[in-house]
Amino acid sequence: MSVLVFAEISDGKFKKATFEAVSYGRQVADMLGTQVVAIAIGTGADASELSTYGAHVVKTIATGDSFTADAYAAAVNASANEVSAHTIIISNTYTGKSLAPRVAQLMNAALATNVVSLPDTSNGFQVKRSVFSGKAFAFVNLQRSHKVIAITPNSFEIKTFGGSANVENSAIALGASSLNIDSVNKVTGKIPLTEAEVVVSGGRGMKGPENWHMIEELANILGAATACSKPVSDMDWRPHSEHVGQTGITIKPNLYIAIGISGAIQHLAGVSSSKVIVAINKDPEAPFFKAADYGIVGDAFDVLPQLISAAKN
Amino acid sequence: MKILACISVVPDTTTKITFTDNNTQFNTAGVQYILNPYDELAVTRGLEIAEANAGTLTIVHVGKADAEPVIRKALSMGANEAIRIDAEAMDAQQVAEEIAKIAEGYDLILTGRESIDYNGGAVCGLLGSLLGIPSINVVTRIDYADGKFSFDRDIDGGRESVSCAGPCVASAQKELCEPRIPNMRGIMAARTKPLQVLPAQTQGGYSQYSAFELPVAKSGVKLIDPSEAGKLIEILRNEAKVI
Ligand SMILES: Cc1cc2nc3c(=O)[nH]c(=O)nc-3n(C[C@H](O)[C@H](O)[C@H](O)COP(=O)(O)OP(=O)(O)OC[C@H]3O[C@@H](n4cnc5c(N)ncnc54)[C@H](O)[C@@H]3O)c2cc1C
Ligand SMILES: Nc1ncnc2c1ncn2[C@@H]1O[C@H](COP(=O)(O)O)[C@@H](O)[C@H]1O
């Protein structure tokens, strides 16, 4: 028996989410009294790095830098069989979300996505996952001998462990995919919203796209990603990829700063799991203040320049 | 061309989520049910592709009879027919296994990116694996030309374009299209469109929900004077320690 972690490689590096998954996997393995094996598909990353986060063994398949769900799922399933892993840990990134269901199906495993807790094995195998777009959590019992757990990024502290992992080339080959990848377009030099630890977000209170340079400037200084409310992307003030909320992206940064956003229930659904929330709004009755840790009742056009100059120091 | 769109029925986005029976049941009292917003996009784009290629769009839902008004809504958008598989849906795996049983013969299967209630985001990938066909998650574009489907999809930190021959399954993301609003003619026509009810064929779920919990309420907002807004940065650095 062992716990298998899918160690996602992106642009020749392990992601932070991968370290979270490995460290989570190690804790599960310790709980079950077994070892944790990481499977890394792709090139560039230094497999031994995963020792630090608790991997006992790292298997590498040094091909296939472009992710395809079908081929990767087959390789993960074969790796799980090889090391008799019953529990598979995957980070719920876009890649992980494509992969986890296919792995679960191949393994005939119970699947839980958006998982935010370690398993409770005192009575069966239970995990906590977020549901209703972050408006609630559910405790779900996984009722199969095999389990696939997809953990929410930025939900677990990365623990470090001593020891050094055995790094081995896997005998498993990555098969062909029935999907052609025609082109990949990655935004470079910008922090992806889903991975950002700080997010600065603007709503209709920002009045128009011409004022966004202030949001961007503050975000730049703080090393933050930028986001927006739905009407802002609907009006094309900002790209759709920045729209957060129930029908946009769900995010969980350490800090979410909402400027000129009312705090409608659908908006809050996508951001309320953020660790610290700041609301800046000229209306003291804005619902966002009920969901915020810190607030400034004031005009964004007065407050933002002050924040920018304070952040510069 | 034959297209299948999978729909889930979810609480309206304004629903205040609460639980009953000692936090073991979702409180359905007063809840309005709607067509899952992402599925609305899947149905709309499915219809556009069907219409452009002399095809048909079939709706499928795994659930009980109380979902029928929402199924009729999808029909009123223009779908040709609907199938309801009569089962209490326990989890995405059960839903996918039921749908896989009737999915033979479709060139394109569409789902939503996720259902906004249980947010599994799993049905698309499960169906792809069960049927042995490509699954393309979170697509913002679907086109069909020269016997091939092509897609744009969101990936971590960007976007990619992929293509394949059918059959394949894709999950709809915002930006795919503007949801189609049913017109009067569509609503009238939907009343008499075929809605077939099939018995469940699988054994039920792989997982079971035992309890729910609401997020811990914020302890109250700490207000900072707007004339000293810069103090916020100091607090975020030294007190909250998040920057
Ligand atoms: C099915 C459905 C799904 C939805 N999904 C989402 C979603 O995913 N994400 C989302 O964001 N919304 C979503 N919405 C929309 C949501 O209900 C709100 O309409 C939206 O979030 C409001 O955006 P806003 O706060 O930017 O704009 P508004 O509601 O117009 O609020 C603007 C705010 O700015 C403040 N303001 C104005 N001027 C200033 C100033 N100078 N300085 C400071 N503050 C100022 C105002 O006091 C006000 O509170 C959804 C709605 C529906 C029906
Ligand atoms: N009961 C159901 N019947 C048919 N399709 C469903 C059902 N539940 C979910 N789906 C489809 O699967 C998608 C993803 O759902 P989920 O995996 O539950 O997040 C939804 O957007 C629907 O397209």
A240-255 pLDDT tens trace: 889 999 988 889 999 9
Residue B109 confidence (pLDDT): 98
Residues having CB closer than 6 A to ligand 2 are B 6-8, 36, 38-39, 60-63, 89, 92, 95, 111-112, 114-115, 118-123
User: How far apart are the CA of B170 and the centre of ligand 2, in A?
Assistant: 12
Structurally, chain A folds into a number of domains equal to 2
Between B21 and B119, the higher pLDDT residue: B21
Residue A178 maps to a domain: no
CB contact under 8 A, A222 and B243: yes
Nearest CA in chain A to B130: A105
The whole domain housing A90 covers: 2-169
Considering the domain architecture, whether residues A229 and A289 belong to the same structural domain is answered as yes
How do residues B79-90 score in pLDDT, each as one tens digit?
Answer: 999 999 999 999
How do residues A59-91 score in pLDDT, each as one tens digit?
Answer: 999 987 899 999 999 999 999 999 999 999 999
- For residue A190, what pLDDT band results from cuts at 50, 70 and 90? confident
User: How far apart are the CA of A262 and the centre of ligand 2, in A?
Assistant: 30
CATH number of the domain enclosing A47 = 3.40.50.620
CATH number of the domain enclosing A207 = 3.40.50.1220
How do residues B98-110 score in pLDDT, each as one tens digit?
Answer: 999 999 999 999 9
B42 contacts on A by Cβ (under 8 Å): none
Question: Which residue, among A103, A113, A127, would best test binding to B if mutated, counting the most B CBs under 10 Å from its CB?
Answer: A113
For ligand 1, whether the C-beta of A281 sits within 6 Å is yes
Residue B179 confidence (pLDDT): 96
CB contact under 8 A, B121 and A113: yes
E strands along chain A, which residues?
2-7, 9-10, 13-14, 35-41, 57-61, 85-91, 110-115, 126-131, 136-142, 147-151, 166-169, 180-186, 198-202, 225-228, 255-259, 276-281, 294-297
- Kindly state the average pLDDT of the residues A167-183: 96
Q: Is B182 exposed, middle or buried (0-12, 13-18, 19+ CB in 10 A)?
A: middle
Residue A65 confidence (pLDDT): 82
Considering the domain architecture, whether residues A14 and A154 belong to the same structural domain is answered as yes
Residue A307 confidence (pLDDT): 98
Considering the domain architecture, whether residues A14 and A163 belong to the same structural domain is answered as yes
Considering the domain architecture, whether residues A75 and A136 belong to the same structural domain is answered as yes
Residue A183 maps to a domain: no
Give CA–CA dist A311/B18, Å, rounded: 40
Q: How many CB atoms lie within 10 A of CB A210?
A: 8
User: How far apart are the CA of B13 and the centre of ligand 1, in A?
Assistant: 14
Considering the domain architecture, whether residues A209 and A304 belong to the same structural domain is answered as yes
User: How far apart are the CA of B115 and the centre of ligand 2, in A?
Assistant: 6
Considering the domain architecture, whether residues A131 and A206 belong to the same structural domain is answered as no
Give CA–CA dist B111/B127, Å, rounded: 10
A278 contacts on B by Cβ (under 8 Å): 232, 236
Ligand nearest to the CA of A282: 1
- Kindly state the average pLDDT of the residues A111-126: 96
Note the ipTM here: 0.94
Question: What pTM was computed for the model?
Answer: 0.94
Residue A187 maps to a domain: no
Considering the domain architecture, whether residues A249 and A125 belong to the same structural domain is answered as no
Residue B53 confidence (pLDDT): 97
A232 pLDDT more than 80 = yes
Residue A1 confidence (pLDDT): 87
Residue A8 confidence (pLDDT): 96
Considering the domain architecture, whether residues A133 and A242 belong to the same structural domain is answered as no
Considering the domain architecture, whether residues A246 and A282 belong to the same structural domain is answered as yes
Considering the domain architecture, whether residues A262 and A148 belong to the same structural domain is answered as no
- For residue B1, what pLDDT band results from cuts at 50, 70 and 90? very high
Considering the domain architecture, whether residues A143 and A207 belong to the same structural domain is answered as no
- For residue A204, what pLDDT band results from cuts at 50, 70 and 90? very high
Residue A294 maps to a domain: yes
